[in-house]
Amino acid sequence: MTDLLPTRTSYRPDEPVAIEIRDCVESGTLSIWRLGDLVVAHPVHCAGVIELGPLPVGGYSVELQTDQTDQTDQTDQTVARTAVEVVADVRSVLRYGFVVDYRPGRNLTAVQDNLRRLHLTGVQFYDWAYRHADLLGGGDDYADALGQPVSLDTVRELIEACHRIGSDALGYAAVYAVGPQEWPKWEHDALLTASGQPYALGDFLFVLDPAAPDWLDHLAADLKAAIDQVGFDGFHLDQYGYPKRAQRPDGAVVDVARSFGTMIGGVRQALPQARLVFNNVNDFPTWATASAPQDAVYIEVWPPHVGYEDLAQVATRAKREAAGKPVVIAAYQHVYDQVAAVGVGAADTATGLTMATLFSHGVSHLLCGEADRILVDPYSVRNHVVAGSTADLLHRWYDFSVAHSELLYGADITDVTGSFAGSYNDDLDVSYPDAPVEHSARPGTVWRRVTAVRDLDGSERYVLHLVNLTGQSDTCWDSPRQRPGSPGRGRLRIRRMGTALPRVSYADPDAQHRLIDVELTVDGDYVLADLPPPQLWQLVVIEAESPTL
């Protein structure tokens, strides 16, 4: 089966973009599209690597059609797809993945292919270390704290595999966790419960003040040694979400949010070039750490953040606090543990609607990694091997998010739903014959969001996000979901602000992979357009010929 893979997970403007074509037995055309416009078409005669040269900053959809395509056939004749993204600053984007297998001599080809296929620009090396408080104390080959085999040669080879395709390798490091063996050395820095016992993760790890000067010096030195000896580009700095305030053995009361900020600053000072990502567990304490000297805002969600609206609110707050840094949400899809009872399709639909919520709110999703795995648990070693349908879903959706990245993740994107949509505003909205349209995520509706995207030339385009929640009895993001029903064809209504007509186009990761234009009709002071029913998520772009619509 023909496959397209970009040679890198992202490109800089001075780097030539190249696409590897595998298992192609017919000549054809490789076409590159940017937001619905054809950029370049390149003839293809056989499998191999096609170099396209440098491209301007932006996201691109890549399609291969063979010469055997029937031009009279109106169905999609594309035989393979991928996407590429060109960014001026590679750390302005974080599509985050994971690896967990460091056995000696493992083959890394499939891992590297998956990173390329899903365009994962950063990779978390989960539980690579010997111990939480002694990262490199095990020599070259050891069992980690939970007995998993680790070869540092394999870790180094995985890091090199990431570097060959432009991904950063981030080593996992807990910022305040010490195992029983090392605890006597550090218990003077403990964070204590009201009854005087140290806070702990079961009886496995004990928690201390992350800003304690002696601990912070040790942590920074251990991390620096891991960069020097193993080759990491930076670190995933983890915590457990508790405690918020606690007392030390010396009686001092610790504001843990403040201590986390001090810790991040200390690590940054010791490692000025490292890529740092801190875990705000259940949004604690994003308000205090988002502005700290790190390279992304990362949040691991748990109850009470159980619904799509909760995810949207967490994402919106994080984007506001991030001030331009990329935002990543870890929303583990435990629903795949139920596939024997509910079926893969119900889990895939849940994942699709979760991604629709996150991507439409401008944040990425830590979910995928290794060669064929997704996360179902915070202990990443306990993951799920994807079925073919899930792999196809992830491929489509990650391609879609990359190809439309400037409409989704840019810093100059403003939510204008409350100012444009609805009967009072009557500037831009959509309706359906068989389902209501709602401002928030409610079962049985089409969830509508409108954003304004400012381009480099100062002009604005408007993006309408339509998430199909019809047929759902609730909006829990980690529950089995039935495939939504059809709300019918949408009627888009746009208020005119001049004689020029806007350009309107739509795309859908499950139905129409790149933007295509729709026909418009004029109705007095309004422009009307018909839209096909959304699958899970439909993107509609309204682009005026002048700076305002």
Q: What is the mean pLDDT of residues 257-277?
A: 98
Return mean pLDDT, the chain: 95
Closest CA to 527 of 546, 549, 507, 548: 549
Structure letter (DSSP) for residue 415 = E
How far, in whole angstroms, is CA 502 from its chain's centroid?
31
Tell me the residue ranges of DSSP E strands in 116-274.
Answer: 122-125, 141-143, 149-151, 168-174, 177-178, 200-201, 205-207, 234-238, 245-247, 253-255
| CA–CA gap between residue 21 and residue 46 (Å, rounded) | 8
Q: What is the mean pLDDT of residues 360-387?
A: 97
Q: What is the mean pLDDT of residues 72-89?
A: 81
CB 37 within 8 A of CB 57: no
| Cα dist from 375 to 201, 384, 535, whole Å | 20, 6, 24
- pLDDT confidence of residue 305: 98
CB count within 10 Å of CB 25 equals: 8
Residue with tokens 């495939």: 483
Angle at 419 between CA 416 and CA 424, to 5 degrees: 150
Indicate if the alpha-carbon torsion angle 335, 338, 340, 343 is positive or negative: negative
Closest CA to 170 of 97, 118, 103: 97
pLDDT in tens, 99-120: 999 999 999 999 999 999 999 9
Q: How confident is the model at residue 456 (pLDDT cuts 50, 70, 90)?
A: low
The larger pLDDT score, comparing residue 412 to residue 168, is at 168
What is the crossing angle of helices 152-164 and 213-230, to 10°? 70
Q: Which domains does the chain have, with CATH numbers?
A: 3-86 (2.60.40.10), 413-543 (2.60.40.1180)
Q: How confident is the model at residue 339 (pLDDT cuts 50, 70, 90)?
A: very high
Q: What is the mean pLDDT of residues 445-460?
A: 88
pLDDT in tens, 45-61: 888 999 999 999 999 99
Closest CA to 154 of 107, 197, 194, 186: 107
- pLDDT confidence of residue 307: 98
Residues 6+ apart with CB under 8 A from 220: 266, 267, 269, 270, 271
Percent of the chain with pLDDT over 90: 91
How far, in whole angstroms, is CA 188 from its chain's centroid?
39
Q: How confident is the model at residue 457 (pLDDT cuts 50, 70, 90)?
A: low
- pLDDT confidence of residue 68: 67
pLDDT in tens, 173-222: 999 999 999 999 999 999 999 999 999 998 899 999 999 999 999 999 99
| CA–CA gap between residue 193 and residue 177 (Å, rounded) | 16
| CA–CA gap between residue 92 and residue 326 (Å, rounded) | 6
Structure letter (DSSP) for residue 307 = B
| CA–CA gap between residue 56 and residue 456 (Å, rounded) | 12
| CA–CA gap between residue 97 and residue 376 (Å, rounded) | 13
Task: Give me the count of residues in the chain.
Answer: 549
CB count within 10 Å of CB 414 equals: 11
pLDDT in tens, 429-442: 999 999 999 999 99
- pLDDT confidence of residue 203: 87
pLDDT in tens, 311-333: 999 999 999 999 999 999 999 99
